Amino acid sequence: MTPVSAIAENGFPAAKVDAMMESYAGDAPGASVLVLRDGVPILRKAYGLADRERKIAATPATNYRLASISKQFTAAAILLLVEEERVSLDDSVRRWLPSLPALADSITARHLLTHSSGLIDYEDVMPSDFTGQLHDADVLRLLETQEKTYFPPGTGYRYSNSGYALLALMVERASGQSFADFLRLRIFQPLGMARTLAFVEGVPAVADRAYGYSESAAGWIRTDQSTTSAVLGDGGIYSSLDDLAKWDAALYDDRLLSDPSRKLMFAPHIDTDEPDIRYGFGWRITGETLWHSGESIGFRNVIVRYPQRRLTVIVLSNRDDPEPYATARKIAGLAIEQEP
């Protein structure tokens, strides 16, 4: 199957990217790749299949589950409410979610955004016989039963899906809207991201949806949803290359967030487990790059931004493996080689 592309010849070495993405081509679960320079696509291409059962090809408009790339939208939602003085970064999480135990008194929105809350991972305290799908409100109910944290708030770093599920609930309490509606009305619609959504089963359906797959001894099997796939704040958004290009553009100016808010989002607030990586609000910071990966059952994604170069690479894929961060950095390297 020929890779789908909508970019005219521009000197970018697309054949080298095709070679990097060869394993995604044909009848395998696919991927979509975007390279933006100064907001203009210099590569916009897709490989393989978004739906293997129906033989539907992936395209640049295919919508993938972003997994943890969703966290930057949750962070943006909080920052919008901070700008309106409806939420403070130093609010105790119990101001908004008073059913949490007293140990959460000293946990703030800032701690949740930077993975420095010490909250217990909800995945580790789910009932072993749970067979349905967990939602953000269920995460709260699980955490209501916890009488300890991994460390005192603000004294360490531990990546926390629990924290971002609670942030989504804070958005709901502060705005009076569902989290999905807040994102749609305050972020996606204003930016023209018409086909991006926080996915709630059946309302509405995801257009041009990619389904997730995992490789087994018997071949590729569909593994599109897990027990945690319906938690929205930490990973429930579906989007495409074309809509994410609009998101990337909005991060350079104040069309959505003010300059102070964007500085907060991209500031290196805390060291992480990796010596060369710090964490902002929903973004990792490594050298000159702002980036975040997204991994959930059936999906592996990454967005890597080089703001000083006005360069962005996005790779979205509907398979468990491989992790695309290294590939995205190699693709960025090709673009950097072209710079004057």
pLDDT digits 0-9 by tens, 57-90? 999 999 999 999 999 999 999 999 999 999 999 9
DSSP 319: B
What is the rounded (10 degree) CA torsion for 139, 140, 143, 145?
-120
Query: Rg for the chain (alpha carbons), in Å?
Result: 20
Whole-angstrom distance, CA of residue 37 vs CA of residue 124: 41
Characterize 156-181 residue by residue with b for buried, 16 or more Cβ atoms within 10 angstroms of its Cβ, and e for exposed: bbbebbbbbbbbbbbbbebbeeebbe
- Amino acid making up residue 83: E
Q: Is the pLDDT of residue 1 over 50?
A: no
pLDDT score, position 6 = 46
Whose tokens are 């919008």? That residue is 80
What would the pLDDT profile of 87-119 be if each residue is shown by its tens digit?
999 999 999 999 999 999 999 999 999 999 999
Coil vs helix vs strand at 148: coil
Name the least confident of 66-80, 156-170, 191-205.
Answer: 191-205
Does residue 160 register a pLDDT over 90?
yes
pTM value?
Answer: 0.96
Neighbours of 222 (CB within 10 A): 15
User: Is 68 designated active site?
Assistant: yes
**Is the pLDDT score of 8 beyond 50?**
no
**Which domains are seen in the chain, by residue range?**
1-62+291-340 (3.30.450), 67-208+224-235 (3.40.710.10)
Nearest Cα residue to 112 out of 66, 63, 158: 158
Q: How does pLDDT run across 10-34, given as a tens digit for each residue?
A: 689 999 999 999 999 999 999 999 9
Q: Are 206 and 63 within 8 A, CB to CB?
A: yes
How many residues make up the chain in this entry?
340
Given the residues 68, 70, 240, 293, select the one marked as catalytic. Answer: 68
Taking the C-alpha atoms of residue 335 and residue 338, their distance in angstroms, rounded to an integer, is 5
Q: How confident is the model at residue 201 (pLDDT cuts 50, 70, 90)?
A: confident
Peptide bond into 41 cis (omega under 30): no
SS3 at position 46: strand
Question: In terms of C-beta density within 10 A (0-12 exposed, 13-18 middle, 19 or more buried), how is residue 309 classed?
Answer: middle
What spatial distance separates the first Cα and last Cα of the chain, rounded to whole Å?
A: 35
